[in-house]
Every structure is written in C-alpha cells, then in structure tokens.
Amino acid sequence: MLRRILASSRFITLIAVAGTFVASSALIVYEALVIGEMLVDVWRVGNVSSKDAKIFAVGLIEAVDVFLIAIALYIISLGLYALFVDDSLPLPAWLRIQSLDDLKGHLVSVVIAVLAVLFLREAVAWDGTRDILAFGGALALVIVALTLYLRGLGGRSDDERR
C-alpha cells in the first residue's frame, strides 16, 4: 500500500505544472495586451521622432524580455509534466526532457537569453549617464558562468546525471 501511495505521489507535481502553465499563459496574454496598448498609444499620439522611436523600441524589447520569462515558465511546466507525469508527451527534439539536468539546461539557456535582452534594453535606452560597460561586464560574467555550467551538464554521461 505504501508503495502505491508513493508511486501516486508523483502526481502532486501537477500543482507545479498547472501553476507554471497558468503563470506562463498569464504573462503572455498580459504582455500581448501591453504591446496592443503601446500600439494604440503610438497611433493615437501620432508623434514620429527618433526619441519616440527609441521609447517604443525599449518597450518592445521589454516585451520580448517578458515573453522569454513566460517561455521559461512554459518549459518548466512541460518539463515537470514530462518528468513526473507522462514521458510520452510529444515534444520537438530540442525540447525533450529526460532528467532534471535537461530541464535545468533548458532553463539556463532561457536565462542567458533574458540577460542578453536585458543588456540590449539598457544599451538602447542608454543616455550616457550610467556605466553601461560595468553593467555589460557583470552580465557577461554571469553569462560565462552559466555557459560553463551548461557545458558541464552536457559533458556528463547519463549515469553521472542520475
């Protein structure tokens, strides 16, 4: 009986699956509404200038950042479902998740993309008053560390991952 209870306990992860899926969906819908509002504002105001274009570009870059975070949540949702509930979930080859290390690898890859978009947003919005070189250097160090972590994950055999 205890064995059956423990075997069924894996379904408790459905709470995390549902939570991350709902969070991902909510972020995507919310940011789509933000973009829609930005487009309406641009149309309504009708100003065309390089300053307005820069503000608009920064807004769109921030939207990409939020979409990437939503995608990270979606990948976590799919990964947890595939790992704990149903490993026959039809996923593209690049998204197949067979271990927690695979899931961490996908998540770290998205975090690297989010950090790159974060720097792009700061670079576009840069007004010369902030030290963008130090900010970029700090982000580069984090990205290098995460890349080394990913390489460490990729270099381990399946037996070492377990």
pTM over 0.85: no
Residues 21 and 146: their CA atoms lie apart, in Å, by 25
Model confidence pLDDT, tens digit, residues 9-21 = 878 889 999 999 9
CA angle, residues 126, 127, 130, in degrees to nearest 5: 75
pLDDT at residue 139 above 70? yes
- Annotate 56-123 with DSSP letters as a single string: HHHHHHHHHHHHHHHHHHHHHHHHHHHHHT-TT----GGG---SHHHHHHHHHHHHHHHHHHHHHHHH
Residues 140 and 119: their CA atoms lie apart, in Å, by 9
Residue pair 102/154 in contact by the 8 Å Cβ criterion: no
Q: What is the pLDDT of residue 155?
A: 57
Of 46 and 23, the structure prediction assigns the larger pLDDT to: 23
Model confidence pLDDT, tens digit, residues 50-90 = 888 888 888 898 899 899 999 999 999 999 998 888 888 88
Model confidence pLDDT, tens digit, residues 24-52 = 999 999 999 999 999 998 888 877 788 88
pLDDT at residue 148 above 50? yes
Segments making up each domain of the chain, as ranges: 2-161
Model confidence pLDDT, tens digit, residues 104-114 = 888 898 899 99
Q: What is the pLDDT of residue 161?
A: 46
